[in-house]
Each structure stands twice: as C-alpha cells, then as structure tokens.
Amino acid sequence: MPRPLRWFARVVTVLLALAVVLAGVLVHTVRRSFPQVDGSLRLPGLSGNVEIYRDKTGIPHIYASSAADLFMAQGFVHAQDRFYEMDFRRHMTAGRLSELYGRATLDTDKALRTMGWRKVAEQELPLLSDDTRAYLDAYAKGVNAWLSANPNASDRSLEYSVLKLQNGAYHPEPWSPADSLSWLKAMAWDLRSNMDDEIDRALIAEKLPRERVEQLYPGYPFDRHSPIVTSGGLDRDRFDQRADPRLRLGTGAVVQDAAVQGAARTLDAVPTTMGTADREGVGSNSWVISGAHTKSGKPLLANDPHLAPQLPSVWYQAGLHCRKVGAECPYDVTGFTFSGVPGVVIGHNAAIAWGFTNLGPDVADLFLEKVDGGTYLYKGEQRKLETRQEQIKVAGGSPVTITVRSTLHGPLINEVMSDAKPSGGANAVALQWTALTPGHTADAIFALNKAGDWAQFRSAASLFDVPAQNLVYADTTGRIGYQAPGRIPVRAKGDGRWPVPGWTGEYDWLPAPIPFDQLPSVENPEEGFVVTANNAVIDPARYRPLLTDDWAYGYRSQRIRDLVEEAVGKGKVDAATMAAVQRDTRNGFAATLVPALMKVDLAGPAQQARELLKSWDGSQGLDSAPAAYFNAVWRQLLVLTFDDELPEGARPAGGDRWYEVVRRLLESPDDPFWDDVTTKGFTERRDDVLRQAMASAYQELADRLGDDVATWRWGDLHRLDLVNGSLGASGIAPVEALFNRGPLAVPGGKDAVNATGWNVQRGYEVTAVPSMRMVVDLSDLDKSQWINLTGASGHAFHDNYWDQAEMWAKGGLLPMRSSPGSVREAAAHTLRLTP
C-alpha cells in the first residue's frame, strides 16, 4: 500500500475508533438514566408494598393498599420517566428558567413573575382539603425519593448531561406541593378564553373603524351549528334543562388604547405550555352517547384534547389502583395524567368516565389604567399601587430584580417589557384573570377520581375553578350528562370583548362569580347524546349570564353531531364508530368556498389544479391532491385579503372564525376587505382576489411539489415535527437532533374533527394536534381504547420515547386496560416498591 494511502487508512482507523468510543460513552450515558422497571426497589416512606405493572408501551399501573402509598408511588413513577420535564415545568411556571438557561429566557421569566403563578399556587395550598394536601405531600415524597436515589446528572436524564455542559453548577431542588399546583396555573393560562381576541380587537381598532373590526368577529351561527345544550335555562336561580326562558342581552361600551401594545408584548413572552402560539389551534372534541343508541346498551364516551405538539407529550397514561377500594383508599382510576401532578385528569374509574373540552368562557379582562407615580386613578381618587420585588437568578450572570405593580384589577402587565408610547389618557394595562385568585382545582381532581355517580361527579365539578371546561359524563348504570363548571365572572357593565377603562369602576367584576347551580347542565338528554367541541354552550336567547361571545364557530361540533346522528340512524353505535369519527378529516368550509371558486373566470395552468376540486368530498387524507390545492388556495386567500390592513399580530391564522368572516365576504363582492390597499390606481374585488389566490396557490405547489397536479399530496405539505419542549428548540443542531423526532405526515386540518392545525401565515406544518385520543366503553371498561401523541418515557432513545406516534398519526388506538387481570396479563415488566 502506498505511503499516502497507509497514512489515510491509519487516520480513518483512529477516527473510527474515536467514534466507537464516543458512541459507547453516549449509549452508556443515555441508558444509565433509564428507569428500573423490574425487580424490587426500596422506597423509604411507604407503609406497605406497591406493585407497578408496565405493558410493552411502558404505561404503568400502580397497585397500593393506601392512598398515601398510591400517590407516593405515582410521584416516583412520574420522576422515573419524566423528571426533567417536571423540573423544566416548575422553573417555567415560577419564572425561573433563567436559572437553567441564562439570559436567553429572561423576558419569559419577567412576564411570569409579573403574572405571579407561583405566588398564587402557594396561596392556594392552605385552602385545599386535608386529604388533597396529604396526597400532594405523598406525591412530593415519591418524587424526592427518586431524586435522592439519582444524585448525578447522568443518573437523571440525558438533558441534565447536556445542561451540565452549559450550567455545571445546577442541581435540582426537592419537589414541593406548590410545584404541582403551579402547573395547574399553566394549564389555565393556555385555556384562558378570549383575551387574545380582546387584544387583537384593540390593535386592529387602531387601524380600522369599529364596524370593520366587528366584521372580523361575527356572531355564532346558531341557525347552522347547534350549541352543546339545546334545551333549558334559568328557573328560580338554578339551571333547569326543562325550562325555556327567552332572554336577550345587550352589550357594553368599549375603549381601546395604545398601551395595549405593551401588554400584548408582555403576554406574548409567556410561554405556551399546552396551547399554540397562535392560540386558534387550542380546542378539543368530546362526545358521549347513551346506551339507547349503542350495540352494548351502555354508554360510549370519546375525548381528544387539541393542544400544541410536544415531545414528550403533555399527557402521561397511568392506572392508579387501590387493592381494596374503600374509605381509606378510594381510588381505582385509569387515564391521562400530567407529570408533576398527582391523580388522573381525564379517564375513568370503575363506575364513571369523564372527558374535557375547553369551555372558553371570558375569564380574563384587560383594564386600561391611569397611573401617576406610585398611584392610580380609581373613581376620582388616587389609590396606592401594590408593589412587590422579584429577583430573578441568571445562570452565568448577575441576578435581575424587577418591580411588579398592581391595581385592584391585577398586575400591570405592560410595564415589565413595554416600549409602547401610550396615548388617549391610559398609560398602563392591568390583567384581571380568575386563575390569579386561589381556588380548589386540585381538590376537584381527586374528587373526580373517586366519584361514583352523577351527583358526586357534579359535586367534584363544582370545585373545578380554572380552567373552566366542558365536562362530559357517562356511568356504568347507563346515565350520561354534561356539566359546565368554573369560576366565571359577572361584570357590572360590558361584555368582556374589549379592553375597558379601569379608572371609572363601571366595568368592575362583581364580588361573586356565576353560581355553580346556574351553569348549564344536562342529564340524560332526550337526543341521547351530548357533543362538545368548543362550540357555544347555549343560545343566549335562553340563558342570561354572559359566558362569552368568542366561541369556536361550531364546524367541528356540527360535523360530529351529523356523523353521530348518521350512525344512530344506521343502527347501533360501537367503539369503532367513535374512533372513526375521531379520524374524520372533512374540511367544513370546502362546501362553501369551492362553488365560489368554480364561478371565477380562470386562465393558465391553475385551471388544471382547480379541476381537482370538482369531485372532491372535502376529506383531507395524506394522498389527497385536492386537499393540498384547496388548503393552498385558502392560505393565499386569507393572506391576500387581510394582511394588507391588519397588524401583524392580528392577521388570520386560519381557524373557523375566518370561515365565518369569508363566508359573509363572499356575499359582498365589493367589500373593502377585498381591495389591496398597497396597490395604487386599482380596486380589487372579490373575484380578483379569488382568481389570484388560485393562481398563487398553483404556483406555490408547482414550485414545491412539481407541475403534475395529480401527484400532489396533502401529506407532503402537512407534516408534524415532534420537538422536545426545552432543549429541542435550543437552536443548536446536534442537541436538537438528540431530542427531536419526525417529521410525520398527518391527515386532517384546522377545524376538521381530526384537528391537526396549521397557521396560514407560516406554512402547512402542524402546530396543534389531538394530543391524545380516548374511547371509553362503559359496558366493559377493558374494551376501552386510548393513544398518546408520543409515549410514556421522557428519556430520549428509550423504546417508549415516541413509540405511539406512528399509530397516533394513523388514527390507531391501543387497549386501555384497567382490570387487575387484564393489566397483569399484558404486563411486560413488574416492579415492586418496598418500605
């Protein structure tokens, strides 16, 4: 061998040897943090033995003889699989991310300290029941037992090994009950109702007159899309599903101001823990069908919450089982949990099942304030601002101290980061939000978990303060129902749709929220089913208290109702029917927009693309060429119609509100929104914009997918990247490659039942997903099914890190086992915890 080749071979050999060594080190580091799932472990603090069975997907079922042992073991198991996620979440909710990542997260911390989530959680703790506090303590003991047994970064997870390279001094502190409660505030924030619409209205009103702003927020189409509750109303200060009052409400005055711009920037800095940046993708589906319409004669319940995609998924599947269910240990529950929080959030026990969708009531208002030095104006008097100092520790830097100031309406959210130049008299914006008042949501979780009938379920729901959710219910006796819970404010004046002046006192909240007994509720409705999908709860013609005017517009809910009614008409419904409805991809606006597109004169190659839509049924499967073209047209249409006049933060993302806006515009070919104000000497009309949208959509897809329209596939555009919630967005490619997975091609679309949302301003990539799916069969709970977006494990490269993702993308479901026999039969691993 010539000398140069021998030299090259030696270099290659050395490099290969180094690669093998590094790979070995990486594999060792990665696997070292994988949890022990077989054999026996000692867990100091237990009063008795605990068994943990895991199937091949890593889903744990925990068996204990006392409630304290059960929740201590749950804390231990959550920490085994997801401690880094838990640690990241508690730093985020407390405004302490800069302790981990340095100045890069300082703005986020400032915004969260101003909001004061952690402070409220600490105030909430002593208000909870003795049992709830005991369970939170037990859970924390379990987490801390795991933490004590894994003192080194490489013992805990790969993330800590990476973090150590940047922040070698960091060591996780013990877990506390307040850490668990703080996450419930994060959940409330992402499901917080219409505050973003409130800000957007004010920002748009700085550029457009009031009547044109109102065009962008049309009323709910009650004539076409049914509300959740189709009968009943208030009778003698209680909601009665048999009552039929006919009441109509007026609306209040509005005020807007440039100070809102600063508030918007502060709120934008608050991370989206469960929802999406554009917020329009947040939603959910749930429905329940009585046994009168099912093959088994017992109810079926389906649920799929729509949240931001995360890796690991926001949910963690688990079963929590007392060996002998009784007063001392009343839990036998299976469902979806949050790592960091004890109990089951959505699922079933041996008697009942329940599901959530976001009710979306207006529980947050922006109050414009007149601040002068350390005081603010209120009813003609200067009141002293409340102040507190917040010190933010910064990895690799000096601490930063901020001053948070508050009026009686809440913290001044524009002050921390604003560079706005206020005008119109107001110079500050305060946020009043129900979640900033301590509540009892943690009590509600444990009460739901042990509820055995409709009355106990409603009693538990009455404790569910924030976020207000639509709760659907079914039980093994055959009963179904719906309950709207939550702390929903009553305003002295106004409708909560616009920022209002705080200094007058006219728009203040009354001391008491809407009483629970006045919130809509239905038991065994005559229809035999209940459907919720963030649509209007009830027609305001029959219900006086204001819940909100900013609902989802009912495209998903009406599609589900139509499919359920069709299935009922064909015969008895089964679990497969429920799952098929969850997979439905039909675009609810296609039947309106396509005929309008077909009427437009069109020349050039876009004509061939438009032909795809002639026989299209509106479904958005992976291989659909019509779906690819239609969505491209929809994207171009919204951008061409609105981006020239709306401020950047208020431009359309593409949800079903825009279906209603465009539906009405299609009937007004000369409406000013059709005109592009940036073109001089020409006024565009409706058909001009439709024509340009079709031509631009063709050109976009031809550039991306080729000239042959028959080969276009929706799945080639509509793809999901699974991004790790912290280090997966670090901006460091090798680090991101360790933790991120995908992409996956997914069917569906925004406001289809299979709601894989995307933002027209950014492209077709998926921004919101059915974060899990569940179908509960009350005739035999072991026949229930579920799926998670990713997997049980939070450890990158673990077999269960994202093993459910491909099945999820295809709409598949896994067995949701819960009986002791089925759990043990499916067990691939068994771990015993001993005192």
C-alpha distance from residue 172 to each of 121, 135, 489, 547, 578 (Å):
20, 22, 39, 42, 43
> pLDDT per residue over 761-819, tens digit each?
999 999 999 999 999 999 999 999 999 999 999 999 999 999 999 999 999 999 999 99
| Percentage of the chain modeled with pLDDT above 70 | 91
| CA dihedral of residues 650, 653, 657, 660 (deg, nearest 10) | 110
> pLDDT per residue over 94-137, tens digit each?
999 999 999 999 999 999 999 999 999 999 999 999 999 999 99
- Whether 264 shows a pLDDT value over 70: the answer reads no
Hey, what amino acid is at 666?
L
8 A C-beta contact, residue 341 and residue 445: yes
Query: β-pairing, 757-758 with 410-411?
Result: unpaired
Would you state the structure tokens that stand for residue 346, as one six-digit string?
Answer: 């959505």
C-alpha distance from residue 131 to each of 399, 447, 587 (Å):
38, 10, 47
Task: Check residue 246 and give its pLDDT.
Answer: 56
| Boundary of a domain, candidates 664, 689, 717 | 717
Average pLDDT over residues 469-496: 97
- Whether 419 shows a pLDDT value over 50: the answer reads no
Task: Check residue 28 and give its pLDDT.
Answer: 56
Task: Check residue 19 and give its pLDDT.
Answer: 47
Region of 116 on the Ramachandran plot (φ > 0 left; ψ -120 to 50 alpha; else beta): left
Tell me if 21 is assigned to some domain. yes
Q: Mean pLDDT check: name the lowest of 196-200, 779-783, 821-825.
A: 196-200
Task: Check residue 824 and give its pLDDT.
Answer: 98
| CA dihedral of residues 624, 630, 635, 638 (deg, nearest 10) | -160
Tell me if 54 is assigned to some domain. no
Task: Check residue 6 and give its pLDDT.
Answer: 43
DSSP-assigned states of every residue in 297-319? SS-EEEEEEEE---BS-S-EEEE
- Whether 390 shows a pLDDT value over 70: the answer reads yes
Give the N- to C-terminal CA distance of the chain in Å, as an integer. Answer: 67
Q: Mean pLDDT check: name the lowest of 409-423, 523-537, 709-723.
A: 409-423
Task: Check residue 117 and give its pLDDT.
Answer: 96
Query: Exposure string (b/e) for 235-258, b if CB count within 10 Å is 16 or more?
Result: eeeebebeeeeeeeeeebebbbbb
832 strand-pairing partners? 40, 51
250 versus 270: which is more confidently predicted? 270
- pTM of the predicted model as reported, rounded to 2 decimal places: 0.94
Label residue 261 by pLDDT band (50, 70, 90): low
Report the alpha-carbon distance of residue 599 to residue 381 in Å, rounded: 62
- Whether 297 shows a pLDDT value over 80: the answer reads yes
Average pLDDT over residues 688-692: 98
Which residue's structure tokens are 């991004």? Answer: 723
Range of the domain at 643: 590-619+621-717
Tell me if 406 is assigned to some domain. no
**599 burial type by CB count under 10 A (0-12 exposed, 13-18 middle, 19+ buried):** exposed
Average pLDDT over residues 564-589: 97
Cα atoms in the Cβ-side hemisphere of radius 13 Å centred on 499: 28
The CATH number of the domain where 599 resides is what?
1.10.1400.10
Tell me if 645 is assigned to some domain. yes
Tell me if 750 is assigned to some domain. no
**Number of structural domains, the chain?**
2
Which of 775, 745, 794 has its CA nearest to residue 313? Answer: 794
Which of 691, 648, 650 has its CA nearest to residue 669? Answer: 691
Tell me if 687 is assigned to some domain. yes
Tell me if 609 is assigned to some domain. yes
Tell me if 12 is assigned to some domain. yes
293 versus 1: which is more confidently predicted? 293
Q: Mean pLDDT check: name the lowest of 31-35, 48-52, 699-703.
A: 31-35
- Whether 424 shows a pLDDT value over 80: the answer reads no
Which of 194, 119, 180 has its CA nearest to residue 468? Answer: 194
| Boundary of a domain, candidates 717, 735, 769 | 717
Task: Check residue 771 and give its pLDDT.
Answer: 98
| Boundary of a domain, candidates 688, 717, 746 | 717
